[in-house]
Structure formats: C-alpha cells, structure tokens
Structure 1
C-alpha cells in the first residue's frame, strides 16, 4: 500500500475491534451495527504505523446486507463503507496484463480489503504513541480504498467520510476526534461557542494580527471607524443608535452585504444622520439581515457594528462623506474582530434561520451513524459519529461562497482580502475563514488549497499572498484586478476605482516601505493613477480584454482610456518580462478635471463622449506635475520660476482620472482581420504567452511597406472594424512603443529576437497632440521593429 508521502509500507489489516467479551453489554445500545462494528476501537488505528486498518470486502458486503446476523436492516457502518467503494475498479498491479479476460471482478475477489485510514482533512499525520500524554489521533476523516492485504497498488475512494463528536464528549476532550457536531441551528449556543473558540485560535496567528502592510492590530482595542452602530441591551431589549466613534478604541464587527430595495430604504442620509445619532435607529425599519448581525454581536459581547449603508452618509452631501470614508475601508475591515457575510440568494429571512436536513452536511440520504468511543485504556467512553458528506467540503465552499451572488459584487473583493476573519453564513452552514488557516466549516473541516480546483486554488493563494512579505506585490495587484474586472458594480462611474481603494492604500504602503519612503500620518508618495502604478506603468499599460469572456463595452467615462477602469470588461495582463527595455517616458501628469468638463462628461455615453471630454479638457490644461528622476511627481513650475524645495504629489487611492504627458515613438501600421488559423495564433501567442490564448479575437498587424506579411498582433477593444479575413486592406492605426521584450529561439545556439509591446492609439486633438488608447499588441517583424525603434520621439498627452 502507498501512504500519503508516497512510501510503500505493509499495513496491518486486522479487525479494528480488539476488545474483551465483558464490553458487550456496554455497547449493546449501539443500534444498527453488526457485532464487529459494535466493538469498533478507534485506538487501534493509533497502533498502526500509517493509521490504517481494514475489513475484508466480502465481510463488509455480507454485513451490509439486510437480515445479516441480528441486525434486520444491515450494519449501518458496513453499508457506509460499501457505498464508498462499490463503484471502484479492482486495482491493477503493474505486472498484470491490462486486457486480462480472466481477471476476477473486485466484488468476487476474496483477497480484496476495504482499507480505512484515519486522517485530518484527508492528510495523514504521523502516528503517536498510544500512551503519549495530551496527544490524540486528531482526526476528522476516514479515507477508504480497495486493495488486497499487502499490495502497494490501491484504488482510493473520492467519498468524504467525516468524523464528529459532541463538544463536551470524551472523544472531543481527548483530541481523538477533532470534528464537531453542532446541529443545524446557526443561532445555537454551540455555534456561538465555536465562533468564539475560532477567534481565540486565530489571535495566535501573527499574520492575522497585523495589517497587510505590517502594522500590529489589537482587535480588542482597535481604533473604531468614524461612525458605528452602538448596541445596548439584549434580545427584546436591544437598542441601536448611530454613534460618532472616531477616536474611541474597542472591538467591532463589520458586515459585507448585497444592496437591495430594503437597503435603499434604510440607508443613512444627510437628512436622517443627526436624528439617528440622537434618537436611535428604528430596528423594525431595518432588514432582518441587519437585525441578525446585531444579535450575533450581542451574543458575542461586542457593542459596535459597522455597516456601510448605515455608517456612511449615502446621499444628500454631494458624496463628500463617501469620498472621505472609502479609503478608510482598508483600516475598517482589517481592524474588525471579524466580518459577517451572508451568501444566501434570498437574504430576507436573515442569517440565523435553521437550515433543513436536506442542507445538512450529511444530507437526507446519509444519516449520522453513532459509533462507540474507547479511550486510550480501552474503556468505553461515550460515542462519536461518522457520516458521508453529500458535497465535498471544497466544492461546498466553492459553490456556497465563491460562486454565490454576493461574490459577484465588485466591493466584495477588497472586503474579503482585507478582512482578517470572516464568518460566512451560507444555505448549508457556516464557513469560518482567517488569513492564515483559510476557510473551515463550523464542524472544523478545513478547505485545503491542495484539494481545490485550479480556479479556487488561485483565489485562495491570492489572499495568502496579500501581505507585505510578498516580494511580488505588484504581480498580486494585477492578478487581483483581473479577478475584480469580472465583478459587477451598480454605479461604475463612481465605484470602479473606489471599490479597490482600500487595496490600493495597502499596496501603496508596502511599495513606499520598500523604497524607504516614510509613511507619515498615513501619507506617502507612491503615484497611483486611475488603477495603475507609475513605478510600473510600462507593464500596467499592457492590459488586454479577455476575449474568453462575453463582450461588454460599457464605458466608464470618468477614467482615462489607457486605464483598465475605463471599460466594464474582463481584463488580463501578460506575464511580466523582467529583462524588458522600457521605451516611453512619462514626463508630466495632470490629475484634475475642470468642473464644466465633469458636467459635460455626465449625461453622455459611448466612445464619442469619452473622446470629446478628453479633447475639451486638454485644450485648457497643462501638466500639473513634472516627473523627476526616481519617479517622483512634483508640481510643474515655469522655467523662470525661482527654485524651491519640491513638494511631492500626494498619494490618492481614490484617483479616477489622470492625463499622462508622454515622450515616445509612434508609427503607422495596418490592423487587418482576425488571425483565423491555428498556426498564426500560436505564432502570435509565442510573443507574450506560454500557450495559445483561449480566443480567436487577435487581429493581424502589418506594415505599410509589406501589407501581405503578418508583423504582429493586436487586441483592439475600441477599434471599429468588420470581421474580415487577413486578406483585407486593413485600417491605418498609429502604435506607441511601450517596451521591448526578448524571445529566445534555437535549440543550441539561441538568439534573442526583439518583440515590441505597443499600444494602438488615436489622435483626438491634433492641435493639443492628445491621444487615446484603442488597444494593445505585439510587433515581431524585424523590419517593422526597426522602423518603430528608430522613429523620432514626440511629446503628446494620453487620456
């Protein structure tokens, strides 16, 4: 048999019951079990080197059959074991002929055993001495497999057989069974005790007790948000009021939720803010979700709750309070005791409704099976339970949390990434998620990254990598924005950048710390421009529409065309080339719009409005900041002005607009039809991607001199062109050289071919030399590469 670490070790497959006859009366109440299973001894697994024991398959089959022995309905445990392996093929030894017609079917092979391995979350720990003080088996799973007694070849089952015990049982106190049986009522004392215990354990994790940028957190004496809902009393005597809590320390709970009609009716406005502070909040006018959150807080002894719709003025002040509070969310979610999230499709019934047996982990067809528990001395000491999970825990988390309607909200991403602890209330129970250990159920079942599907594994690793210790924090930023770009926003013009402002604030702190730029009173001088970082602008500009997603060209008119935030579409970045040579230079910035330009932008839609806004804006504006060596932005001054100490531009994580004043090289190319054949697409993909991209939406780039030769590819999200083959005349477009990457070719004598990263651009104001982005591409034809690299530099503005 092969163990979890790959080592082949003969296993003991004696019956797991090794108890004297006088124990028979003590276990006579274990109804539904055959004689052997009534004497089940979990300590026998501790005596096995690999924690594996076994039953002969034909014995299990016989005991599971009705009317076997004294059990009229068959043994419940044997039936469970049989169901877990009955669909498994007989394991094939490497010496056996694959098409052997004389092979004995697994159900008739007398040498086959059902192997049972005790483990924790499907990970087998090293066996401990049976008399080791304070140590137990520490298991919550039985892994089953079919093999003969000593074979190294086995076929495992993919069924999850779970072990749970009552919290106050000897099996739990002895740490043999780590799974917990709490029932199906999330409002029970057992559930709140489990949350309390989880919080205590989490506070021993260094990563969970500091911000992403490394600032220590005391969740019991944290700086409270500017406003909180203050709770007094309990149950029917519960009262709530909106309190100004800035400057006060304590503990508080945050809520992430999906806005609906009820939220809109109960939100805090400039008109009712003072009244809610003085007279309190009418609880009956709040959604059941909010009232349940208050119940959770009071049951856990927490007096303050932060809910954005109640604690931020949502209307009546011109957005001033929202603009001030949005960057503070990085602090609010990180410093909270935990964040509550409800993922039910219908949240009208709140969070604390008991869920049905159909939604219990074991489901309606897999009842709990009670087994006798024996301590290390072999004495009977109560019982524990085993059941087959109807949905594997990883799939359960993915379905009820990651694929829930709540996780489609644009705001949820930063709330999830910033919260050190989250309690997910789902239709099938709770998930308790911390930054260090990841998610687990209230039954203490962990969602392991190794067991997750690739897309979920990437998301869990994304959160684990959001920490100042991550040397590639900008790579994290791009992967995060790729995920964020798939989410929906009710008000994209307002929220497209605001919904990641908290993340930007923490990333900016990390970057500033690495460059030795002190963070004073929360301020530093990293240049964050409409969702991109000036220090990495050459890579940031290379975002591309993900053509594998459905097309969506909703324009966010407040953002510049060169930012991913300007279009409501799924985007991605290529892998970064750390050997690249940068080409264009950002020599100045303009960060503000005039009020009349803002008014003109509103009420218009589509690309025409976007280009017109940019044109009018830049006819009237010069660069507000000049870029010095080192990437610092300082106020631009006339040449004759007397020198003065430079004042760097402030860091603004809510920045929605910037005009880049650029010095770079331009040339004209022809963009033709799609790269329709497999060979052309693969050749293009080799310029920036390991594999061929999962789309057919790249267009051919050709030079004016050689229109018949494919010189590169383009992904043009704004270029209007009919779907045509590569033989058409194409559209003349200017390209801007961003950087040069190198493609190595050859088996032995390798050569480095130059590949140019370019942006497709369009001049929208010839007098002011204002350009906007049309798309992104690569150029790999040597003649066109030389033409672009030798073109003269020009100064222009990029909006």
Structure 2
C-alpha cells in the first residue's frame, strides 16, 4: 500500500479566494499600475543593477577562493552559522538555500552534514564535471520538486515521515560573468544543468524533516513490479472513484475491435494472433491504445485487407509497440483492444469521418487507455528500462562524533501532469512526445483512466488522481489555480458545475492547451477535439459554433495568437473569428473569464454594449462538431475606423501594429503576419476597424474589486468593400429593428487589449465607437 500525498496550503486555515488565480491577477495589475512607485531600496537591489552584479561577481569569486584555499589546507575550515538560527549559512539545514557550490564545498569540509550530502549528490550526477570547478555554479533549493502536479502547492507541515522529495537545481549563473555586468537579465540565457531529488523511503526516512518520502521505481516498465503497481492503481480507481465511472454505453464495445482470444483472463499463448471483429453491439471490457503514428504505418486496415484481417492478423507482422500493448491487455485479462489504425478503414473517408465522430464514446467507454507516452512510433516499442541517473543512490555522512546522516538522491524524473508546469527541467514534454499530438489531447481528456508508459517509469491519470512510481498518488486538482488545465481539473470542473455558465471557463482553458499541440493535417483542427465538444454538450445547451459557444461568444472570441509572425494559412480552415483559423497556439488574456461565478460578478445583459444578433456555421459533413465549410457571426457594437500605420518592433513571437484614429495611436496585436504576401495581406495605409467586444467581469472580493477590468476589441478589415458598401439589410434586436447601412462584411485580423487609464471603466473603442452591425466571416 503506497503512501498517499496529502496536500496542505500555505496557511492552516486559508480562504480559498486567496489560493486562486485571482490572487495573481490582483498583484499583477498593481504591478502594472503607473501610479505605484517602486521603493528606492527595491530599485537598488534589482538584479539588473550593475552594482548588484559587481557584488555578485566579487562574492562568487570569494567563495571559489575560499573553496580552493580550504582544499589545499591554507585556509582554516570553519563552519559559518547564522546568528539567529545557528544553522549553516550555506544550506540553512536543508530548509532553503541559494548558494554557490564552492560555499557548499567549504561548509562540507568544515563538517556540515547537510552540505556534505548535497556535495556528494551534485558531484555524482552533474553531467558536465567541468562545471564543478566553476565559481558560477549555483545550488538552489526547490522544495517538493518532481512530484506530479505539486508545483502549485506548498505546505508548512514538513517531516521526514511525510511525502515530498526535496528538489535541488544546479545551474550556471551567467549574470555574474564580468562581460555581462551591463546586460539585462532577460537577455542572459538560463543554463540549468540538472535537478536532483533528495528523499527518504518509508522504511528508511532521511535525516532531515525537509527531506520527505518518495519511492524507488521499478526500473523496467515491462517488469512484474511495474505491472503490480499498474494493477493496484487500476483496482483503486475502479473501487473508489465516482468521477471515473463512464456515462457512455456501459460496457458496449466500439463497432470494431481486435479480439485477443476466446478465454478472457487465461491466454496460454501471449504471442497468439489477433483478429478484427465487428462487435454488433456486444458488451465487454476493452482497452484503448493512444500512441504516435510516426508517419505511415504499414500495418493498417484498408478496404482490400478488411476480409483477411477478420480471419486473423499474423502476430509476426505487428510492430513491437502493438505487441507490447496487446501483451499488457492480455495480462490484465481483457479480451478486446481498440487500435485506430486497425479498427478504422484508413482509405475510406466516410468510415474515417464516422469513426472520428465517435471518439467520445470510444475512449470514455474504455476499461483503461494505454498511452505510449514515450514513443514516437509503434516500431519503437512501448516498454523501457530506466536510465541509470534516475536510479536512486543512498548517500551518508559520519561526523567526528560518529553520528550518521543520510538521504537518497537521483536525477529528478520528468513529469508532465500539469500542462502549465514551470520551467524546471523535470516538467517537460521532451520525454513525452505523445502528449504533443493534437488527437491525443482529447483521448487524454475523454478516457476515464490512463496508464502512461514513459521513458523512466509508469504514470497514472484518472479523473480524480494522478500518480507515478516515484512519488505515489497526489490529489491536487481542487487546490490548483483554475488556469491549470489538467485531466482531473477538467473532469472536476464539469462535475461540479451548478449551471451552464460554470463550464464556460473550462472551454477557454481547453482551447489554450489544445492549440499548443501539433496536428499532422491542419484540417483536423476541429475533428481532433470534436469528442471533447460532444462531452461538453452534455453540460450546456447553447450552440457550438466552430470553436466558440453561442452563450459565451464574446468572451470566447477574445483570444490572442501566441505567435503572429507566421502568415495566415493558405488553405481555409475556419472563419477568421475562430481560433482555428490560425496555426499558432492561442491564449486568453481576459484572465477573469477563467474564473467561476464564485469569484466574479455576472454582467447584466442590458449592460453589454456588444451583442450577437445572428450566427451560422455550415459543417463540411454530417457532424456539426467536425470540419466546417463556412461560418459567419453578426454582431452589434461600437465600431471605429482607423488607418494602419506601421508594424512595431517584433518581440520574440509577437508582432504589434499601430493604427491611427484621429490623433490617437492604437497599438494592437495581429492574429498573423499582416505583411506576408497572399490573401491575408493588409498593406500599411489600409483602413482597419475596431469592434468593441467585451470587458473583464467585476470581482466579487471587495478588496480587489477596485482593480480596473481590461477590455477587448476585435481588429477587422473589410472585404469586398465595393460590393458590400452599397448593401442594406435589417436585423431584429428585441422590439427594435436596426438597419445596416453600409455595414459590409469583415474579416478578423487581430485583437486590441485596453486597460482604462482614467477613472472611467470604458475602453477607448467603447467610448468613441459608433454602434454598427458587423458581419464577420
């Protein structure tokens, strides 16, 4: 029985309102205020201050000299302790430190047991041994690093008998290079060398309360030990997790599955051939496989192979990855497995579309989904042996009185449980190529439970917990900020929704994370997430419109392209108002729309300056959640006309543009490279239009309600201006008929984010715009 991780917040009794993204909003907005002057001491201590840099160079050089002199016996080895704490100044008794490695060496030589253990670990696992002699090598404490999803949560209840490894990051601080004294910090690349986990185990805890418990890993994901770990996780989930019970079909098989044998639970030959069957509505347990194709797969279902595959598929021709998944399924005693390449007719477009539209029931009905998380193709094989740097070593120190101290150490095992993980080396998708795939995003959200076969260890995700071999189980979803979109948070948010508005923020979080993934074919942008849409339709009754929803359309339209230095796609993918019309990841800057009604005030409908009058989307096939061939929105709201002037200097992946309205310069972010040749080109001097969209909602908390909400306006260009300019049509808004005079048709080209600078809460566009009816395509 593993030790479950119990997460506490920073305070014994903390208001949940202070443990959410709203806390970040409050202080980030204060930081952006022009009226808040920095204290002169804060300015003096700024890391870009050359005086601070020179002091840092001197201190690191002093530490290096002290280490060298100590090693050769010239300098007396004396342990420096804090006057108030009596603890070693270099490591603070493992409680928190940011030290140069030479300081750790000097303290270790002077008898500090903590520094001795840290020094041993750093020397053993540092990949570049030359760094050990550098005065720029820094050692930074990172508590509880390496634990799945824990980077958002801390606790003051620390004990060697409680779960939680201590993380230590080693890196080279280039800011203290003499040549970088006058260089801004953001222009100096970080150089993290590695991250280590120091920990104890249940029967052998470490000697410090700040070094908690973890687990030894199996070392081989094909081993009996790893399978027992998997079986235990599966059994716990089936027995006790209400959120993991599927609402779909209750055991009904997909239309086609692979039959692994006639004796469920007793497969005498693990390498026996398999065959394709049509389930005809039969019921039974089945496993889904989630994996990377890695290009064209030779063994796939086609029209001419269909009949032969129903008679049997020779085991010898299956790629190693398929064999690994089938072995694991047979070991579970499950008779059927669903693998898309062998259960969907790959050269039949109609069959492909039909099966693609059924992804929600297929994955939600699975007993478990096996995810080949570490593999780039089925030929790679899905099992792995852990690299030696991830196997733990027991380090010990004996002092002059014979007392011993010890801890285990290993390189921090890569994790992926939180999609918004920090920059630490252990939180990376580098070791999880599967999770970059767009199709896999919905497979992961829809499956009630997933076993991840990683490069180092097995990991587990279900709708209630996540777990890994090295750290055990953790339940952190309730404590994570709402913008931290994980499988568990998605399921929890949907299940906890009291009305339809409660699920609206989760969709925007879903879009942000989905657009970070990759698709082989851009045209799959809607089909690859249609299963998530169908699942969400169980919780909301409004129409789904090519990536946005009718009831929350204004907030859903307030997306911004993360990389607008690429041209608009040559092939039409979606209406320009949809995030699917660009190939860049997108994000929502209207942070407050990520929050539930628990934190924000609902805007009264009559206070909304912009309203949706009409919406129409034409699907390309029979599935309205899949590919579309056309879409339009008709909005009524304040509109101003401006003249596009020049592109501002590009910063990283962002290109800003200026537009002049009267004597006012408006700075906006484009959706794509407006200067790129092609149909999306918008020359300097062109007329562009700003349509007020929405404001961030007010906050309920009175202490934060004074923070001014930002507003968002769509940036548009008019298309077919000569033809559309003479048109006239009418739209009904309640009892009022609004006539569109010279309204025309527009395409979206960017977004304008405005924070009021005066006491007025209205944006520039809202104050100066003329109410117009605008059709967006």
Q: Does 1:193 align with 2:228?
A: yes
Taking structure 1 as reference, are residues 403 and 537 closer, same or farther at Cα in structure 2, changes over 3 Å only?
Answer: farther
Q: Secondary structure at the match of 2:441?
A: helix
Paired residue for 2:138? none
Taking structure 1 as reference, are residues 583 and 267 closer, same or farther at Cα in structure 2, changes over 3 Å only?
Answer: farther
Alpha-carbon distance in structure 1 between the residues aligned to 2:705 and 2:444: 49
Alpha-carbon distance in structure 2 between the residues aligned to 1:92 and 1:339: 40
**2:665 corresponds to which of 691, 710, 723:** 710
Q: Secondary structure at the match of 1:767?
A: helix
Q: Does 1:592 align with 2:618?
A: yes
Alpha-carbon distance in structure 2 between the residues aligned to 1:144 and 1:410: 32
- Contact 2:616 2:631 (8 Å CA) reproduced: yes
Q: How does 1:64-103 map to 2 (within 5 A)?
A: 88-90=90-92
Paired residue for 1:32? none
**2:432 corresponds to which of 404, 422, 443:** 404
Q: Does 1:558 align with 2:573?
A: yes
Paired residue for 2:642? 669
**2:588 corresponds to which of 573, 577, 583:** 573
Paired residue for 2:316? 284
- Contact 1:239 1:280 (8 Å CA) reproduced: yes
Q: Does 1:468 align with 2:509?
A: no
Alpha-carbon distance in structure 1 between the residues aligned to 2:361 and 2:320: 27
Q: Secondary structure at the match of 2:628?
A: coil
State the shift of 1:296 in Å.
0.6
State the shift of 1:408 in Å.
1.4
State the shift of 1:565 in Å.
0.8
Taking structure 1 as reference, are residues 199 and 663 closer, same or farther at Cα in structure 2, changes over 3 Å only?
Answer: closer
CA deviations 1:662-681 (Å, max 9, x no partner) are 1535442123334569xxxx
Taking structure 1 as reference, are residues 355 and 785 closer, same or farther at Cα in structure 2, changes over 3 Å only?
Answer: closer
**1:229 corresponds to which of 238, 244, 258:** 258
Q: CA RMSD in A?
A: 5.1
CA deviations 1:137-167 (Å, max 9, x no partner) are 986667699xxxxxxxxxxx9742242779x
- Contact 1:223 1:246 (8 Å CA) reproduced: no
Alpha-carbon distance in structure 2 between the residues aligned to 1:110 and 1:202: 45
- Contact 1:584 1:662 (8 Å CA) reproduced: no
Alpha-carbon distance in structure 2 between the residues aligned to 1:450 and 1:412: 21
- Contact 2:687 2:717 (8 Å CA) reproduced: no
Q: Does 1:391 align with 2:412?
A: yes
Paired residue for 1:543? 559
Q: Secondary structure at the match of 2:333?
A: coil
CA deviations 1:390-429 (Å, max 9, x no partner) are 2256589955757522121111111111222211112212
Q: How does 1:735-774 map to 2 (within 5 A)?
A: 735-739=690-694, 755=711, 757-764=713-720, 766-767=722-723, 769-774=744-749
- Contact 1:90 1:106 (8 Å CA) reproduced: no
CA deviations 1:516-547 (Å, max 9, x no partner) are xxxxxxxxxx3111111111111222221114
- Report the TM-score, using the length of structure 1 for normalisation: 0.59
- Contact 1:330 1:505 (8 Å CA) reproduced: yes
State the shift of 1:777 in Å.
1.8
- Larger-gyration structure (1/2): 1
Alpha-carbon distance in structure 1 between the residues aligned to 2:356 and 2:333: 28
- Contact 2:108 2:115 (8 Å CA) reproduced: no
Q: Does 1:731 align with 2:686?
A: yes
Paired residue for 1:28? none
Paired residue for 2:199? 161
- Contact 1:672 1:729 (8 Å CA) reproduced: yes
Alpha-carbon distance in structure 2 between the residues aligned to 1:496 and 1:336: 24
Q: Does 1:327 align with 2:327?
A: no
- Contact 1:462 1:480 (8 Å CA) reproduced: no
Q: Does 1:270 align with 2:272?
A: no
Taking structure 1 as reference, are residues 777 and 326 closer, same or farther at Cα in structure 2, changes over 3 Å only?
Answer: same
State the shift of 1:328 in Å.
1.8
Alpha-carbon distance in structure 2 between the residues aligned to 1:127 and 1:160: 14
CA deviations 1:214-253 (Å, max 9, x no partner) are x3x79xx512111111101443551211111242211111
Taking structure 1 as reference, are residues 239 and 786 closer, same or farther at Cα in structure 2, changes over 3 Å only?
Answer: closer
Whose RCO is larger (CA < 8 A, sep 6+)?
2
Alpha-carbon distance in structure 2 between the residues aligned to 1:734 and 1:239: 63
Paired residue for 1:484? 514
CA deviations 1:458-481 (Å, max 9, x no partner) are 546754645331463221211221
Taking structure 1 as reference, are residues 246 and 591 closer, same or farther at Cα in structure 2, changes over 3 Å only?
Answer: farther
Q: Secondary structure at the match of 1:274?
A: helix
Q: Secondary structure at the match of 2:719?
A: strand
Q: Does 1:294 align with 2:326?
A: yes
Paired residue for 2:423? none
State the shift of 1:788 in Å.
5.1
Q: Secondary structure at the match of 1:427?
A: coil
- Contact 1:185 1:353 (8 Å CA) reproduced: yes
CA deviations 1:714-766 (Å, max 9, x no partner) are 435263389xxxxx98432133343456899xx99989899562331322364
Q: Does 1:258 align with 2:287?
A: no
Paired residue for 2:472? 445
Q: Secondary structure at the match of 2:220?
A: coil
Taking structure 1 as reference, are residues 181 and 734 closer, same or farther at Cα in structure 2, changes over 3 Å only?
Answer: closer
Q: Secondary structure at the match of 1:265?
A: coil
Alpha-carbon distance in structure 2 between the residues aligned to 1:594 and 1:414: 21
Q: Does 1:720 align with 2:680?
A: no
Taking structure 1 as reference, are residues 710 and 241 closer, same or farther at Cα in structure 2, changes over 3 Å only?
Answer: same
Q: Secondary structure at the match of 1:266?
A: coil
Alpha-carbon distance in structure 2 between the residues aligned to 1:695 and 1:562: 21
Alpha-carbon distance in structure 1 between the residues aligned to 2:92 and 2:158: 28
Alpha-carbon distance in structure 2 between the residues aligned to 1:551 and 1:342: 32
State the shift of 1:652 in Å.
2.8
Alpha-carbon distance in structure 2 between the residues aligned to 1:119 and 1:551: 36
Taking structure 1 as reference, are residues 196 and 652 closer, same or farther at Cα in structure 2, changes over 3 Å only?
Answer: same
Alpha-carbon distance in structure 1 between the residues aligned to 2:763 and 2:582: 33
Alpha-carbon distance in structure 2 between the residues aligned to 1:284 and 1:739: 60
Alpha-carbon distance in structure 2 between the residues aligned to 1:254 and 1:764: 49
Taking structure 1 as reference, are residues 386 and 336 closer, same or farther at Cα in structure 2, changes over 3 Å only?
Answer: farther
Q: Secondary structure at the match of 2:351?
A: helix
- Contact 1:556 1:566 (8 Å CA) reproduced: no
Paired residue for 1:421? 449
Q: Secondary structure at the match of 2:558?
A: coil
Alpha-carbon distance in structure 2 between the residues aligned to 1:178 and 1:671: 60
